[in-house]
Amino acid sequence: MKVNLLYKIGIIGFGNMGSVIAHKLAAQASEYEVRVFEKDKSKAIKAKGVSFSEDISDLMLKVDTVILAIKPQDFDRLLKELKGRILNKLVISIAAGISTEHVEKLLGNVRVIRAMPNIAARIAESVTCLSKGNFANDDDLEFSKEIFNCLGTVRNINEDMMNAATAISGSGPGYIFYFIENSALDPDNIPEHARHDMMRRLEKAAEVLGFNTEDAAFLAANTVNASISLLKSTKSTPEELRLQVTSKGGTTEAGLEVLRKGGSWGEAAQAAFKRAQDLAKRG
Ligand SMILES: NC(=O)c1ccc[n+]([C@@H]2O[C@H](COP(=O)([O-])OP(=O)(O)OC[C@H]3O[C@@H](n4cnc5c(N)ncnc54)[C@H](OP(=O)(O)O)[C@@H]3O)[C@@H](O)[C@H]2O)c1
């Protein structure tokens, strides 16, 4: 249960996602004090309501919750650096493929929440899936829900469905931008039949990965609607947005490779799911 306190949130990594989370939380200045550590100092630009720490030690001294917003490939190096500094802090990881168990293995018995938001966080329309680790409690999950509500809607799921969520709601915007790009649709005026076509494809893909019909419909509808809203509200083309969500070696890239070869959305999601599993093994 939330009481009227100022929550001190630390974010490690101020890239695509970390910066959006920082800005959205800082916009709720009466609730959150936001502090960031970013190793690339050129990115640590002035941002209203966001403070920057010079190093991890300083950040960890000043926050109660730490959000890990770096690439899965950089994760283990960071976790080794964080070991022994977590104390009683809540750790929230948004990395594709990294399980709470993996974080616990490297950090010890710490409270970990795993979150999978998507690019629509920029317009506060992300659908974020959340799951909790072995040592996190229901209050931690509730608190994390409040945080990610600043970015859109939140769905609690079992951890064993997190890689599937990554392939559907995390990478789904990539399939949607690719589809719009290649269907000669007007991004500012997507007809209803095309919207429903994309929802059906993503919903079917979600069912292929094991989501029940209700979760599949929820994730598909929210991801499609939010991606279309993002397209309308930014001046970016579908191609530009697709490029922004396609990290090298990431889950969206794996899904898009399949679509380019003429595969279905279900097959694309399976490839993204497999990439999420592979990212986990790399750790
Ligand atoms: N982008 C999306 O749409 C999306 C959606 C859902 C989840 N995610 C997850 O979010 C995470 C971040 O993705 P992103 O797209 O925001 O990545 P990004 O743009 O590459 O941002 C990560 C930032 O963290 C910095 N960094 C790396 N190691 C660090 C360290 N030890 N301490 C401080 N800063 C460090 C990186 O610097 P360098 O570039 O110099 O390495 C980079 O500026 C990933 O794990 C991804 O799976 C992303």
For position 277, what pLDDT does the model report? 92
> Rounded to whole angstroms, how far apart are CA atoms 130 and 144?
8
Nearest Cα to Cα of residue 115 among 214, 208, 11: 11
Residue 61 dihedral angles phi and psi, to the nearest 5°: -75, -25
Domain residue ranges in the chain: 7-156, 164-282
Going by CA atoms, what residue is nearest to atom 31 of ligand 1?
78
Shortest-distance atom of ligand 1 to CA 16: 16
**How far is 181 from 158, CA to CA, in rounded Å?**
33
The answer to whether residue 102 scores a pLDDT higher than 70 is yes
Residues framing ligand 1 (Cβ under 6 A): 12-18, 37-40, 43, 69-72, 74, 78, 94-96, 116-119, 170, 245, 247
**pLDDT value at residue 38:** 95
Residues 6+ apart with CB under 8 A from 74: none
The pLDDT score that the predictor gives to residue 235 is 84
Determine the distance separating the centroid of ligand 1 and the alpha carbon of 184, expressed in angstroms: 32
Task: Enter the pTM of the model.
Answer: 0.94
Using 50, 70 and 90 to split pLDDT, how confident is the model at 1? Answer: low
Which DSSP symbol is given to 169?
A: I
Residue whose CA lies nearest to ligand 1 atom number 21? 15
User: What six digits make up the tokens of 224?
Assistant: 């499609």
Q: Ligand 1: distance of its center to the CA of 43 in Å?
A: 12
Tell me the CB-side half-sphere exposure of residue 9, using CA atoms within 13 A.
Answer: 33
pLDDT in tens, 170-223: 999 999 999 999 998 998 899 999 999 999 999 999 999 999 999 999 999 999
Work out the pLDDT band at 54, boundaries 50, 70, 90: very high
Both tokens of residue 119?
């690019």
Query: Topology of domain 7-156, per CATH?
Result: Rossmann fold (3.40.50)
Mutation pick for ligand 1 pocket among 11, 17, 119 (CB with most ligand atoms within 8 Å): 17
Q: From start to end of 117-270, where are the E strands?
A: 126-132, 152-156
38 Cα to the center of ligand 1, angstroms: 9
Would you say the C-alpha torsion 224, 276, 208, 239 has a positive or negative sign?
Answer: positive
Ligand 1 atom at minimal distance to the Cα of residue 72:
45
DSSP 151: T
Report the alpha-carbon distance of residue 40 to residue 14 in Å, rounded.
9
DSSP for 72-94, written as a single string: GGGHHHHHHHHTTT-TT-EEEE-
Averaged pLDDT of the chain: 94
Tens of pLDDT along 125-150? Answer: 999 999 999 999 999 999 999 999 99
